Amino acid sequence: MTTIDMPAKASRPAFNIKREGERFALVAAWLLLIVIFGTLMPDSFLSWRNFSTMFGSQAVLVVLTLAIIIPLTSGDFDLSGASILTMSSMLIAVLNVKHGWSIGPVIIVALVSGAVIGAINAFFVLYFRIHSLIVTLGVGTFVNGMILWVSQSQTISGVSMTLVEWVIINRLFGIPLAFFYALILAAVIWYVLEYTIPGRKLLFVGRGREVSRLNGINVDKVRAVSFIVSGLIAALAGVFYSGMTGSADPLSGLNLLLPAFAAAFLGATTISPGRFNSFGAIISVYFLVTGITGLTMLGAQAYVQNLFYGGALVIAVSLSQLVRNRQPQDFS
């Protein structure tokens, strides 16, 4: 056994067609959808306005998906994300509209509320050692009750135009700023998960709690931080939500829960297959919404949207599994 010089083959094979195929299958499917709808409706579908609206209006879902990716990476489910989003947007509306607070402090309160709910999740999961699924389901339901109470079940409109402007009215290349915020956040999360030590620790904790503990990672701290950050980002999604609509209602945000999970899991089949990853999540969101938008523009009935959504989800994942020879997906 001698120390020898670096062998050339130690660095990755430069290009692996199969692996790249796996990574970009969903992107290809997305482009295909665009081509199809573009051919059918060259004027309306291919307009920049259509794309910019699509990009802008999905920013909320993207951010929520990013929020749940973090605990998913560290091995926990967070079903309270949509409730936190709604709570945050409702707090903004109530404090800003009803109590006349200025928007800056209101946003801070909203973000803090998200972090606090995340901390509550973390407390129950970690102190009592309860499965995250049941804790976040319970806490989420509790938060839903709080929202109804805070809002008296009412929609509150008239949220500060400053917020609205900075979220959806001001644009870059015609796309509302919200999209770029989501993009920046995705890049930050990507960077943190891939290129920082805390990000690596998160991944290790998700893949092996006991291994991580024995390797000197403070597992409870990592999981707690991941819940809190997830709450914070979900609350940020709520800020965008109220900026997007200029209002808050106690319920519609809750519908984003399942789409966010769908996007997170679909996203884990692309870009960095086998890992929950932020750009994969973005692509999943836009892949699905492109299909829905195209169908709506074609005048398809509501049920066709469900058929597409469910069908596309399953088929997209199936195809990506075919590309990787149907190796089981392993997120743990």
Binding residues for its own copies, rule: CB under 8 A, are 79, 124, 127-131, 133-135, 137-149, 153, 258, 261-262, 265-266, 301-314, 317-318, 321-322, 326-329, 331
C-beta of 15: minimal distance to its own copies in Å?
Answer: 26
Q: Which does 17 bind (CB under 5 to 8 A by kind): its own copies, another protein, none?
A: none
Cβ atoms 63, 233 nearer than 8 A = yes
Quick one: CA dihedral 119, 234, 31, 14, positive or negative?
negative
Q: How far apart are CA 117 and CA 253, in angstroms?
A: 16
Phi and psi, residue 247, nearest 5°: -155, 180
User: Binding to another protein by residue 244, rule CB under 8 A?
Assistant: yes
Q: How far apart are CA 116 and CA 113, in angstroms?
A: 5
Mark residues 176-215: x for contact with another protein by CB under 8 A, - for none: x--------------x--xxxxx-xx-xx--xx-xxxxxx
C-beta of 151: minimal distance to another protein in Å?
Answer: 8
The rounded radius of gyration (Å) of the Cα atoms in the chain is 21
C-beta of 158: minimal distance to another protein in Å?
Answer: 5
Mark residues 285-314: x for contact with another protein by CB under 8 A, - for none: ----x--xx--xx-xxxxx-xx--------
Helix (H) or strand (E) holding 11: none
Quick one: CA dihedral 310, 315, 316, 318, positive or negative?
positive
User: Binding to another protein by residue 245, rule CB under 8 A?
Assistant: yes
C-beta of 9: minimal distance to another protein in Å?
Answer: 5
Within 89-128, which residues bind another protein (CB under 8 A)?
Answer: 97
C-beta of 314: minimal distance to its own copies in Å?
Answer: 4
Q: Which does 14 bind (CB under 5 to 8 A by kind): its own copies, another protein, none?
A: none
Phi-psi category of residue 276: left, alpha or beta, with phi > 0 → left and psi -120 to 50 → alpha: beta
